[in-house]
Amino acid sequence: MHHPACIRRFCHLSSGPVKLAIVGGSRGAAFLKVLAPLADQLQLVAFCDKREEMIARWKEDRPDLLTFTSYEKLLECPDIDAVFLATPFTVHAEQSIQALRAGKHVLSEVIAATTIEECWALVEAVEQSGLTYMMAENCLFTRSNMMVAQMAHAGLFGEISFAEGGYIHDVRHLQHSSDGTLTWRGRLRRDVNGVVYPTHSLGPLAHWLRMHEPNGDTLESMTCFVSKEVANHSYFRELFGDAHPGADRDYWRQGDSAVALIKTRNGVLIQLRYDVKSARPIQNAHYGLQGANGAFLSGRHKDEDPIVWIGGRSPGVSPQRHGEPRAEWESLWTYAEQYEHPAWRKWRAQAGNAGHGGSDFFVLDEFSSAILEKRRPLIDVYDAVMWTSVFPLSVLSVETQGKPVKFPRFNRTEAVRAPGSEA
């Protein structure tokens, strides 16, 4: 195959690091500090934000960067190989498709799209471009989640039956500006009701379940139930008074706690909880796993160790017959010597300083490596849209009082999922 994308890739290999533009300055800034150790494979060359004050702030730190207030202008620039979209997720699909059509590789922050139609359009744009698309789901790459992946793939948990994830993070203050005007997050809570932000919860589970592998498991059907709204209207009333429309409970479609139950093609049950409004300590990294031979459970908060029990290795037996020792959890970290992920072993010094538990580092590493090595990234467009589609499909389920909905089969060309098959 000698279509233009292949030639472009070959150019990368011979000409050094991938030249990257970051689009969106608020979230994008978190990635600046992890770039140094990746200098051989990834070079930040440009920055784009429609806010002039954000451009000015970045210019102070990085006067060397090309800057753009127009995304379209950026896409016309021939000195940029790839874009990293750190913009509101409502525009991710549109911006990704624009970039792919302009010949740029795309690293998109989560989530990849907001409708099933956008998901399909994104898949088509990637397939037609032959370029690399990756979704930047950093939770896959945390130290504990990577270690659990190693253990799951080594078979320690046995055949897996159940996996759960939870994203619980009170970010009500991000829904409005200081005068009470709604931001895009606020408008989302006003307009839709479901598991709107599923990939932090689902991504690691999909990795443990090998969904990214050729002929891997896939999401099949889902139901979603959501509680009533209690947290937002009281918050808006307190902050902006009764005159603000958000002081009315009925103004908000999104309930406080949303739970989706998903059955996979292979019969695994996945449970996802989503709550970005309730008053409580953060738990944006709740995970659990159950197999025929053991279980994993994350801490209730950051000061608690994640725990595991592995039959034949951890203390006690299950089931516990009369007189036998009771099964007792162990700290996940006691398994680090044997099951620390090789990437974490190698890069821990560098990654430890990055945001999101070091995982931002691995996102950029994986994206640029996939481009340079001409292979599919760990989170390709099929993974991205499968996980992302929980948003529109959960909304649909809620609108029909929890009726189960089927997932589309986005991986319609199975061969594309095989590692290296794109080359």
User: Smaller CB distance to a copy of itself: residue 115 or 293?
Assistant: 293
| For the chain, the helix, strand and coil percentages under 3-state DSSP, each to the nearest 5 | 40, 20, 40
Compute the distance between CA of residue 201 and CA of residue 163 in angstroms, rounded to an integer: 10
Compute the distance between CA of residue 38 and CA of residue 20 in angstroms, rounded to an integer: 12
Binding range to a copy of itself, per CB under 8 A, among 83-91, 171-179, 357-365, 373-381: 171-179
Check residue 318 for interaction with a copy of itself (CB under 8 A): yes
Q: Is 391 in contact with 196 (CB distance < 8 Å)? A: yes
Q: Is 198 in contact with 260 (CB distance < 8 Å)? A: yes
Site string for a copy of itself, 220-259 (x = CB under 8 A): -x-x-xxxxxxx--x--------------------xxxxx
Least distance between a copy of itself and beta carbon 302 (Å): 10
Compute the distance between CA of residue 205 and CA of residue 189 in angstroms, rounded to an integer: 26
Least distance between a copy of itself and beta carbon 266 (Å): 7
User: Smaller CB distance to a copy of itself: residue 126 or 168?
Assistant: 168
Site residues for a copy of itself, 173-202, by CB under 8 A, read 173-174
Binding range to a copy of itself, per CB under 8 A, among 60-68, 71-79, 115-123, 269-277: 269-277
15, HSE (Cβ side, Cα atoms, 13 Å): 13
Check residue 404 for interaction with a copy of itself (CB under 8 A): yes
User: Smaller CB distance to a copy of itself: residue 96 or 389?
Assistant: 389
Binding range to a copy of itself, per CB under 8 A, among 141-149, 183-191, 267-275, 410-418: 267-275
Place of tokens 């490596």: 369
Q: Record the tokens describing residue 62, joined without a space.
A: 């990085």
Compute the distance between CA of residue 126 and CA of residue 385 in angstroms, rounded to an integer: 12
Residue 138: name the closest of 114, 168, 163, 108 by CA.
108
Q: Is 212 in contact with 380 (CB distance < 8 Å)? A: yes
Strand duo 42-48 + 18-23: pairing: parallel
Check residue 263 for interaction with a copy of itself (CB under 8 A): yes
Least distance between a copy of itself and beta carbon 160 (Å): 8
Check residue 403 for interaction with a copy of itself (CB under 8 A): yes
Q: Is 306 in contact with 332 (CB distance < 8 Å)? A: yes
Least distance between a copy of itself and beta carbon 267 (Å): 3
Give the CA radius of gyration of the chain.
22
Binding range to a copy of itself, per CB under 8 A, among 93-101, 200-208, 323-331, 381-389: 323-331
Binding range to a copy of itself, per CB under 8 A, among 10-18, 38-46, 52-60, 265-273: 265-273
Site residues for a copy of itself, 126-155, by CB under 8 A, read none
Q: What are the residues whose beta carbons fall under 8 Å from the beta carbon of 72, sequence distance 6 or more? A: 98
Check residue 206 for interaction with a copy of itself (CB under 8 A): no
Least distance between a copy of itself and beta carbon 419 (Å): 27
Q: Three-state SS for 294?
A: strand
Binding range to a copy of itself, per CB under 8 A, among 3-11, 319-327, 368-376, 377-385: 319-327
Answer for which of 37, 158, 245, 355 binds a copy of itself (CB under 8 A) is 158
Check residue 51 for interaction with a copy of itself (CB under 8 A): no
User: Smaller CB distance to a copy of itself: residue 90 or 221?
Assistant: 221
Total residues belonging to the chain: 423
Compute the distance between CA of residue 159 and CA of residue 292 in angstroms, rounded to an integer: 5
Q: DSSP E strands: which ranges in 210-301?
A: 219-226, 258-264, 269-275, 283-291, 294-297
Least distance between a copy of itself and beta carbon 304 (Å): 8
Check residue 172 for interaction with a copy of itself (CB under 8 A): yes
Place of tokens 């991986």: 411
Residues lying near a copy of itself in the complex (CB under 8 A) are found at: 158-162, 170-174, 221, 223, 225-231, 234, 255-259, 261-263, 266-269, 271, 273, 275, 278-282, 290-295, 297, 300-301, 304, 307, 309, 311, 316, 318-321, 326-329, 401-404
